[in-house]
Amino acid sequence: MPHTRYAPDRGLTTRMVTTMFFIGLLYVVFIGVLLAVFKGAWPLIVIIAGGLFVAQFWFSDRIAAFSMGAREVTPQQAPELHGAVDRLCALADMPKPRVAIADTDVPNAFATGRNQRNALVCATTGLLRRLEPEELEGVLAHELSHVAHRDVAVMTIASFLGVLAGIMTRAALWGGLSRGSRNNNVGIAVLLIPLISAVVYAISFLLTRLLSRYRELSADRAGALLTGRPSALAAALTKVTGQMARIPTQDLRKVEPFNAFFFAPALSGESVSRLFSSHPTLERRLDQLARISTQLGQAGRD
């Protein structure tokens, strides 16, 4: 991890390496199956796989910002938001990321980018309207932790590989079916490839969910230790989670695909079970922050 004053998390690093190893292995096996079945279409498979992966890696921050409707803002346009990011970056001894605002009433925030110098931190207008300055700093400290630990880049890549599996399946089937008269294996491939793609997607989905839940706890812990105010982050978590119930369902459904990158999940009713949630439960997050508050209090008395 690049040097910052954020507390290192070896557990997070281990999980990121493990997740990328297994997803990479899964990806290689999947590519191998496609190449074995569609021997004549291998240039198309390689070009699509390589091109999309490079595009996602280099432009993930712009893709996320565009998808969320985020717009970069200057210090003159959002002085309080920039001021909070400036203070936290100075405290953490890390480069300042680009700062953006998404015009939605869903109270949330996210960070994206392949490294610290290409990172973007975004808060929604709904979040800015609802939080007190100390609560906002707690949320931003949480998001900047994702950037410092580089887990946002790992999540971006890991999430993309599952999607890419489906794209390549369609491309390979299209390339193979177009040569159906010369390929006796097309009938088998029509049944086999979608099944393999579903397995690849399911495994990558579960791996990213497990990593996502841990990284949220890690970011809560690192953000609370950096600011020294775990109670402010706990208050923000409670407020944001409580306000989600007041957001129209149609607005929540629009942003649900980005839940893995959000500060708190935007869920419409019981649409996602605990097993498949991208975040740990609110109770678990608050319990951890309460323990950190107790530890900081004891350290202060000592």
Exposure string of 12-34, with b = 16+ CB inside 10 Å and e = fewer, is bbebbeebbeebeebbeebbebb
Q: Each residue's pLDDT tens digit in the chain (302 positions)?
A: 557 889 889 999 999 999 888 887 877 777 777 677 666 666 776 776 677 677 766 776 677 677 778 899 999 999 999 999 999 999 999 999 999 999 999 999 999 887 888 889 999 999 999 999 999 999 999 999 999 998 988 887 777 766 666 666 666 556 554 554 455 555 665 566 667 777 777 787 788 888 999 999 999 999 999 999 999 999 999 999 999 888 888 888 888 777 888 999 887 555 445 556 789 999 999 999 999 999 988 776 66
Just list the catalytic residues. Answer: 143
Q: Write the single-letter amino acid at 139.
A: V
C-alpha distances in Å from residue 129, one per residue of 19, 267, 284: 36, 20, 26
Whether residue 82 is annotated as binding a ligand: the answer is no
Residue 16, classed as helix, strand or coil, is helix
Whether residue 279 is annotated as binding a ligand: the answer is no
Residue 213, classed as helix, strand or coil, is helix
* pLDDT on residue 181: 45
* Contacting residues for 267 by C-beta, under 8 A, at least 6 apart: 244, 252, 256, 259
Phi then psi dihedrals of residue 112, to 5 deg: -150, 165
The tally of CA atoms less than 13 A away on the side-chain side of residue 276 is 11
Q: Name the packing angle between helices 10-37 and 42-68 (round to 10°).
A: 140
Q: Give, for 101, the enclosing helix (H) or strand (E).
A: strand 98-102
